[in-house]
Amino acid sequence: MSRWKGRRYRRDRTVDVNMAPLIDMTFILLIFFLVTTSFVKEAGIEVERPQATTAVPQQDAGLILGVDAQGRIFAEGKPIDLRLVRSRAERYLAERPDGGVVVLADRATPSGALIQVLDACRLAGVTRLSVAAQHVGEGL
């Protein structure tokens, strides 16, 4: 008779599913995706890029500097002085030695302002430097 009571006791017992390991795994996956995601920093200005048939898309732009039609320089949506371009590029290269810099210039940008930005980046030690252009098909 005591044997029968033991079986009945086991049937009445409820089964609980422990959710703590599932929640822990969810947070671990969330942290993994946040850490491995790369965030693109834009120049923060709207420019009308010049067109080029030989434009090649860049996979890892890195630091993006914008130059508008008036020759003003922007980084991350904020206007910066030409004297700060070199230090900004040096700081970026200290964080990512193999990083590249893309200058996003308006088609009406004075060539002197664009050359000054490119020169400041070269003086900072940037080796992967490019000017953004809009790709168009063959035959302008």
State pLDDT tens for residues 9-45: 556 677 788 888 889 999 999 998 888 776 655 555 6
Same domain, 30 and 65: no
In a domain, 11, yes or no: yes
Which pLDDT does position 29 carry in this prediction?
92
Total structural domains within the chain: 2
Please give the pLDDT value at position 123: 92
DSSP assignment, residue 115?
Answer: H
Give the domain range for residue 93: 51-135
Whole-number Å distance between alpha carbons of 87 and 65: 13
pLDDT of residue 140: 45
Residue 140 lies in a domain: no
C-alpha–C-alpha distance, residues 10 and 122, integer Å: 77
Same domain, 81 and 29: no
Q: Give residue 66's pLDDT.
A: 87
Q: Are residues 27 and 68 in the same domain?
A: no
* Per-residue model confidence (pLDDT) at position 120: 92
Helix (H) or strand (E) holding 135: strand 134-135
Give a yes or no: residue 45 inside a domain.
no
Q: How far apart are CA 4 and CA 18, in angstroms?
A: 29
* Run means of pLDDT, 10 residues per run, the chain, 140 residues: 55 77 91 76 58 60 83 86 90 87 84 90 88 62
- Same domain for 66 and 96? yes
